[in-house]
A and B are shown apart, each in its own frame.
Chain A
């Protein structure tokens, strides 16, 4: 009933925190989430997805919670990476983690009237009815007290063309003592919206969860649907997806390295990065009809074969490769730029590991974790490549990890183009088993992306859980920025390049 590499382990609520702590010692925590499965067996369920280091397997701990007792002992004191997941479950389902160190709401702002939106017996209309836009938020920011400490409130509307969120800095002079981010201003009710669509119709929504990760998100979503329905897509469709995921990584990473120059006020570097990114966006458009690689993923495969345009890919990437090489040489020769990156925004390996960091942010802090290698999917199993790590965890390391991954993506694309890939572009839909479930995942530009879907008794979506890389990495910013000066915040933030929409859902 479950896909091969998913191993479900039933645990009693009393044992759950201790079991999670035990697993977190030798496993990576991928996500924790809840589902309202009362219509199936009268219970709510909590799932904690772990993957053992060095094995392509998911150990999924699960516990049942009865409607009459929705509290359990919090996992966070033992497994700090659980902190946002538990606050999320409390907001969305009313499942109470007793003893959680942070009692504040996470996703639900004050205008929501205390309803639990992801419960199945709560409709979108019920939630809207309880909304009062003038209701006070009443959120209490963490205060730092002492002589000379002052607060700088920023947002939700920021000065530049970026997404909305609120940052509350507590600073002493120019030095940031603490940053308390308040996000979820762009919370739209995406997971609930998935439930109101059929599984086959969720692709376009998954493409619009986070703009520059459109393709990674839709790939992970399609993969979950295909795994649940037992659909094995063709090697050709897999190769197309693999190539396009790497195209997405390329324009993101190169764009990010360029954007870091904006963080240091290095206009020429920024302009050079933007030019390279633009030529990749134009290539995206020619290959898929979308600069953001939308409309190519469908459940069961892809809509077009990008290998038909192999000549265009090769010649464009040749230009980008040369341009990128010169660009990196230029940046590394620019002492004033590099000097700002080194030692800035330090994220220690210990914190990154404890807090569940993912993607380039984790790898720059010495954690060798890449979903493409940990759980080979699509064509990644037949490709040879490494997880690129740096040890120091500063902005410079995050730039250099991206640089190596850019080179790696170039070579992956080259090897994909060298081979012939056979098979149908798209296979017909399978059947969605009642109560069936599956994980879908990939390594997006910002880190791992996970979907978990479950079908109701009639095969329609009961739950679509989305876990973007940014949800894991947002809490890390507070650690990385501690002790840095206020003007370095944009730089540190850009070095993580987190999505608000992908986190807020």
Chain B
């Protein structure tokens, strides 16, 4: 199914609006890598549910995640959904440098997710604190609180970059 997503996104079978996406995101629109996500398909059964947690972000990353739901990107057509409860989530997408105030909430959200679970750190702040690295109120990245499976670079990463990286990370996590 993920192969289908990737083909739809960047391959020969464009879905509605894909030309528009391609025009906007030349930077991430490459050919999909080899190797099938068959195991992921088995694990996630054609649906990936993401719980997004803002751990002190400036809110730009959140707006790009929100944009994924707009009619141009419309990720739900690929079986990707952002969900309200960690109990429903396969993936936790962390943004922000992890402010002290959010450390416990992030941990609790992670613990509330059922296995198997994948942690993605989205944006430069979640990677290593980004521009906030070294500030007294931050823990310099998501990995200080939860085990991170993959990173999405960018400040903020564009919606298309987030989409592409989520798929890459899920693919490599399945291997």
A161:B82 contact, CB within 8 angstroms: yes
Q: Within the assembled complex, what's the spacing in Å between the Cα atoms of A128 and B158?
A: 33
List chain B residues, Cβ under 8 A from A133: 100, 103-104
List chain B residues, Cβ under 8 A from A117: 136
Q: Within the assembled complex, what's the spacing in Å between the Cα atoms of A259 and B155?
A: 23
Q: Which of A11-19, A187-195, A437-445, A471-479 contacts B (4 or more CB under 8 A)?
A: A187-195
In the complex, the chain B residue whose C-beta lies closest to that of A112 is B100
List chain A residues, Cβ under 8 A from B97: 188
B72:A131 contact, CB within 8 angstroms: no
Tell me the interface secondary structure of chain B in the complex: mixed
List chain A residues, Cβ under 8 A from B56: 164, 185-186, 188, 501
- Within the complex, the shortest CB–CB distance from B151 to chain A, in Å, comes to 18
Q: Which of B57, B64, B134 lies in contact with A186, CB distance below 8 A?
A: B57
- Within the complex, the shortest CB–CB distance from B128 to chain A, in Å, comes to 14
B105:A185 contact, CB within 8 angstroms: yes
What are 13 residue pairs bridging A and B, where the CB atoms are less than 8 Å apart in the complex?
A164-B56, A185-B102, A186-B54, A187-B137, A192-B135, A192-B136, A208-B131, A211-B63, A214-B58, A277-B70, A282-B24, A291-B158, A504-B101
B66 on the A face (CB < 8 A): yes
A275 on the B face (CB < 8 A): yes
Q: Within the assembled complex, what's the spacing in Å between the Cα atoms of A499 and B59?
A: 8
Q: Which of A83-91, A152-160, A328-336, A415-423 contacts B (4 or more CB under 8 A)?
A: A152-160
Chain A 161-193, CB-CB to B under 8 Å as 1, else 0, gives 111100000000000000000001111111011
A204 on the B face (CB < 8 A): yes
B156 on the A face (CB < 8 A): yes
B135:A188 contact, CB within 8 angstroms: yes
List chain B residues, Cβ under 8 A from A271: 70-71
Q: Which of A159, A189, A500, A502 lies in contact with B84, CB distance below 8 A?
A: A159
B53 on the A face (CB < 8 A): yes
Q: Within the assembled complex, what's the spacing in Å between the Cα atoms of A384 and B105?
A: 49
List chain B residues, Cβ under 8 A from A109: 100-101
List chain B residues, Cβ under 8 A from A210: 58-59
A285 on the B face (CB < 8 A): yes
Q: For the complex, count residues of B whose C-beta is within 8 A of A.
A: 46
- Within the complex, the shortest CB–CB distance from A280 to chain B, in Å, comes to 12
List chain B residues, Cβ under 8 A from A292: 60, 156
B99:A187 contact, CB within 8 angstroms: yes
Q: Within the assembled complex, what's the spacing in Å between the Cα atoms of A131 and B138?
A: 11
A462 on the B face (CB < 8 A): no
- Which A residues from 471 to 505 make CB contacts under 8 A with B? 499-502, 504
Q: For the complex, count residues of A whose C-beta is within 8 A of B.
A: 51
B58:A285 contact, CB within 8 angstroms: no
- Which A residues from 191 to 247 make CB contacts under 8 A with B? 192-193, 196, 204-205, 208-212, 214
B76 on the A face (CB < 8 A): no
Chain A 263-292, CB-CB to B under 8 Å as 1, else 0, gives 000000001001101100110010000011
A204:B131 contact, CB within 8 angstroms: yes
A205:B131 contact, CB within 8 angstroms: yes
Q: Within the assembled complex, what's the spacing in Å between the Cα atoms of A160 and B50?
A: 11
B99:A208 contact, CB within 8 angstroms: no
- Which B residues from 23 to 69 make CB contacts under 8 A with A? 24, 52-67, 69
B141 on the A face (CB < 8 A): no
A124 on the B face (CB < 8 A): yes
In the complex, the chain A residue whose C-beta lies closest to that of B85 is A159
List chain A residues, Cβ under 8 A from B136: 117, 124, 127-128, 189, 192-193
Q: Which of B53, B101, B134 lies in contact with A124, CB distance below 8 A?
A: B134
List chain B residues, Cβ under 8 A from A131: 100
The 3 closest A-B pairs by CB, nearest first: A211-B60, A159-B84, A274-B70
Q: Which of A111, A184, A205, A501 lies in contact with B57, CB distance below 8 A?
A: A501
B96 on the A face (CB < 8 A): yes
Q: Within the assembled complex, what's the spacing in Å between the Cα atoms of A159 and B53?
A: 10
- Which B residues from 121 to 146 make CB contacts under 8 A with A? 125, 130-132, 134-138
A294 on the B face (CB < 8 A): yes
B8 on the A face (CB < 8 A): no
- Within the complex, the shortest CB–CB distance from A187 to chain B, in Å, comes to 5
- Within the complex, the shortest CB–CB distance from A130 to chain B, in Å, comes to 10
